[in-house]
Structure formats: structure tokens, C-alpha cells
Amino acid sequence: MDREAEKGWEEVLQALRNDREQLEQEQHEPSDEKLDAAILTGLKLGSKRSVRMKRRRFGLQMLVSAVCIFMLLTAFIRVSPAFAAILRDIPGFSGFVNLIENDTTLRSAINNEFIQPVNKSDSRNGYTLTVSGIMADDQRVVILYTGTGPGVTKNTEIKEYVIQDGDGEKIVGSIAWSHIAERKEGAAMYDTFDIVMGEGHQVPQTIHLEVNLEGQWLIVDIPVDHSRFANLKETIPLNKDFEVGGQRFTLRKAVITPLQISIDVQTDSSNVKKSNSFIKLALVDEKGRRWDTKGGFGMLDDGMTIHFQSNYFEKPKKLYLVADGLLLSERNKKFVINTDIGETLETPESRFQLKSAVSGSLTVSLLNLAEPETGYGYWFFDYGATFRDASGKIYKLLDKDGTQYSWRPTETGSDAEAYYEIPLADYVQPLTFDVYQYPGYVLEPIHIEIK
């Protein structure tokens, strides 16, 4: 880094220290409202300052790119010189702001210096993959990476990748990514891989990452420092029974780590109806702060592990599981259709109809959904389910990247459409499908103490 850039860095760091001291003088523990206002102010200041600084010489580009993230963080991070140095060593860290700013867990992790710089790259034929850093705990790993090369812009999306452990074994868990399309063109794309380990599976010592960037495969092996999260886990035995709409459940345990909270829910096998999802499920503390669910492993009707945003670093004194009610449906329902003429012959409710059947593509309309029923991706047919024609011959739904949905608001609520693929065949009409889930709900507040 040249002298002018180094001087600029010192100015930024000193400004951050001054901001921190001012915040600490005003209030030792600011309210959520003040923090939100400060964050918004930081964003606006960062935008304004970065615009001004872009007019300066190219040698300050690194400083320019970092100012925005520091202006964002200055309002709610207790900046230490050591951590400032760590962030400075992570190339292009400001590019990840849009990917993490809406994730309260990741913001809190950065707040508490819970990030591991990696700074490893692979370059081939003009393309470069750089893993800038990771956030990792006992349950979850978030990989921050960038890609550059011919044709690569901020809109570039990685669709082919391989993630394994250091021994070349497939990682057991779920993998998501946080690509945000931008109209603005740029020379680099920023993205994350979000890995949640399956029950009983440990975060590996090394993560082997391969990505296809515009046709070029690139490889980076990522070391994971387990000492950074050793003993940072709180396990709370629960064994608490509760009932919603006549459906019985048991909370088995809660596991709290810096990047995730997991709660094991057991569903009573004697429940008459199928339990699909809790409505507006979240964790709330004694101050009313809320941490929403972000999915989980399994299906609720079979029992599942539900994941939430983490409050590990906030350390609330009290924590409650809350929900507005339960999405549920009757069991053993059929959906009988004639795909030759597009007719629905049997359905759980009249608002669920075959909309179209063209060249093996089925569209099922779910109409007039009430507000509590919206936002959940119903598996109207089970994944990989079978169906039969009138002759009794069995067929299987084709795999089309899982169940796909679209939603649109209406004057009375929302409508949804589910899309499925069936083999092209000479069917004896009609076709009969087993319905796995469909909209239906009961509003009955849930409030259970976790700790």
C-alpha cells in the first residue's frame, strides 16, 4: 500500500475511534432504535464519502472500497485496531456489504470480530477465484468469495460448484448462496456459500471448493480454524410439550452457537392432521428483540430441526419461542385430473385446480390464499412422488430442481402456482396423485420459554 493510501487508512481508523468514543459517551448500551438510525446514517455517510473519494487518484482505490464498509460498521462495531487490521487484510471486503447487511447473525458476528481471513486464490486462463474470508462455528460456515475474469460482472452467478471436505468427501448438510443481481456493471462478482452442517456432522478442518466461473473451473482449499469457535456452544435441554390446533409437539433441545440457533421439534405420530409449518415462527427475548427462523432440516410432520438467526453475542437473559399458529392440512387427499382436456375431477378444495397441462408440464393453481397461508412453499405433491393412470400403471414425477412456485397478490389475499413435470406417455385418463400438503391454517398463539 502506498504512503498516501496508508495515511488515508490512518485517517479512517482515527475517525472510527472517534465515532466509537462518541457513541460510548452518549450511551453505554444504545437502544435498537438508535442503532438502526446510526446504521442508516453510516450507510449514507459511506455512500457520500465514497463518491467524493472516487475522484481521487487510482492509488487510493483500496481505501475507497473499504470506506463504505467501515462507515457501515462504525455505527455499531466497537472497532479495535487489531480487528481493523484484520479487515484491511481481507481483499474487497466492502463488496460483501449487500450480501450480509440483512443477516442480523452475520452482522453480529462481524460486530464481535468473528471472522477468519483466508485470502487464497486460484487463477487460470485470465480467471481468478478468491476466497476472502469465512465465518464458521460448530454448525455453520459462510464462505465469502469473489470472481474476476473475461465477461465477469457483478451480475455473474455461480451455478456449478463442488464443495467437499479435505478428503474429497461430500459435505453432509445444506448449501445456499446469497447472489444479489445488480444492474451496475463491475469487474468482479461477490457471493457467499452458506453451509449448514447436518445433524451429527462436524465442520471439516479443510473445505475443498471448486467453482465454474464462465466456463473455467477454479479450485481453492479453505482452512477452518476450529480454535476460533471451540467451546462457543450452549446446549439447553427442553423436553417441553405443547399443542396447537389439536396437534401435539415436543421441544427436545436448543443449541445456540455464534452463527445459528437450532431447536429440535418432535411431532406426535398420532396427530390426525398433517403439520406443515408454524406461522411467523421466531425467538423473542425479554426486550422484545426478534430472531426469525431460516428453515431447517426435515419436514415438520415427521419432526425436524428448525434453524433461527443467532443471538449468541447479544446474550439475552430470557428467550421465548413464539408463533401465531400452524399451517396444517388433512391427510390422504387425492388430486385427480384429465391432462388431455385440462380438467380437475377431484381436489382437496375447489380453490386448488389444474391450470394447464402442456407437453408434460403441469401447472397447479392454489387460489384465494389467506394472509397466514402465504409465503410457504407447499409441496402439493411430494418430492419424487409417483402417480398412476386409470389402467393402474405407475409413473414418477420428473426431477426439476425440486418444487417450483410463483406467487402474486390479489384483492382477497394471494394466488400461487406450483409447477411439475411428468413423463410424456400415452396415459389412460384420468391421472391420480397423492396430495402431500396444501394450504390450511389455525391461528393459535404459541409462547414457550426456552431459557
Query: Is the confidence at residue 404, as pLDDT, over 80?
Result: no
Cα atoms found within 13 Å of the Cα of residue 448, Cβ hemisphere only: 24
Instruction: Specify the DSSP class assigned to residue 171.
Output: P
User: Which among 354, 359, 448, 429 has a CA at the least distance from the CA of 391?
Assistant: 429
Whether residue 32 is predicted with pLDDT greater than 60 in this model: the reply is no
Residue 92, pLDDT above cutoff 50? yes
pLDDT classification of 188: cutoffs 50, 70, 90: confident
Which of the four pLDDT bands, split at 50, 70 and 90, describes residue 277? very high
Is residue 140 over pLDDT 80? yes
Please give the grid coordinates belonging to residue 365. 393453481
- Once rounded to an integer, what is the mean pLDDT over residues 274-302? 95
Q: HSE, CB side, 13 Å, CA atoms: give it for residue 171.
A: 26
Gap between the Cα atoms of 151 and 189, Å rounded: 11
Among candidate residues 161, 159, 158, the one with its CA nearest the CA of residue 146: 158
Query: Does residue 159 or residue 61 have the better pLDDT?
Result: 159
**Number of neighbours of residue 311 by Cβ within 10 angstroms:** 21
Query: What value does the mean pLDDT of the chain take?
Result: 81
The pLDDT value recorded for residue 57 is: 31
What are the C-alpha distances in Å from 43 to residues 52, 97, 154, 358?
Answer: 14, 10, 20, 49
pLDDT of residue 112 exceeding 50:
yes
- Chain centroid to Cα 422, Å, comes to 30
CA angle at residue 116 from 113 to 120, to 5 degrees? 145
Comparing C-alpha atoms, which of 118, 301, 322, 333 is closest to residue 221? Answer: 118
Distance separating the N- and C-terminal Cα atoms of the chain? 49
Residue 101: which pLDDT band, with cuts at 50, 70 and 90?
confident
**Count of positions (residues) in the chain:** 451
What pLDDT does residue 242 have?
A: 98
For the ranges 49-63, 89-103, 378-392, the maximum mean pLDDT occurs at 378-392
SS3 42: helix
Alpha-carbon dihedral sign for residues 87, 88, 91, 95: positive
Separation between Cα atoms, residue 435 and residue 130, nearest integer Å: 45
Q: What is the pLDDT of residue 46?
A: 39
Residue 130 bridge partners (DSSP) = 121, 146
- Fold agreement (103-229, 234-330+442-449): yes
pLDDT of residue 16: 46
Topology of the domain comprising 103-229: Immunoglobulin-like (2.60.40)
- 125-155 as b/e: b if 16+ CB within 10 A: eebbbbbbbbbbbbbbbbbbbbbbbeebebe
Under the banding of pLDDT at 50, 70 and 90, the label for residue 239 is: very high
H or E element at residue 131: strand 127-136
Closest CA to 423 of 379, 390, 388: 388
Model pTM score: 0.77
Stretch 405-422: mean pLDDT: 80
Region of poorest pLDDT, from 47-51, 358-362, 369-373, 398-402: 47-51
d(CA 204, CA 140): 11
**Pair 337, 434: CB distance under 8 Å:** no
Question: Do 363 and 344 form a contact (C-beta atoms < 8 A)?
Answer: no
User: Residue ranges of the domains in the chain?
Assistant: 1-88, 103-229, 234-330+442-449, 333-441
Structure confidence at residue 352 (pLDDT): 96
Among candidates 451, 441, 162, which has minimal Cα distance to 324? 441
- For residue 300, the SS3 value is helix
> Rg of the Cα trace of the chain?
25
pLDDT-above-90 percentage for the chain: 61
Location of C-alpha cell 482452512: 223
Own/partner contacts of 213-217, CB < 8 Å, gap of 24 or more, are 213/127, 213/129, 213/147, 213/149, 213/152, 213/156, 213/158, 214/127, 214/149, 214/150, 214/151, 214/152, 214/156, 216/124, 216/125, 216/127, 216/149, 217/124
- For residue 28, is it left (φ>0), alpha (ψ between -120 and 50) or beta? alpha
Dist. CA 86–CA 89, nearest whole Å: 5
Which pLDDT score, from 0 to 100, does residue 301 have?
95
pLDDT in tens, 198-210: 888 999 999 999 9
- At 70-91, the pLDDT tens digits run 444 433 344 455 555 555 555 5
Domain at 234-330+442-449, CATH homologous superfamily: Conserved domain protein. (2.60.40.1640)
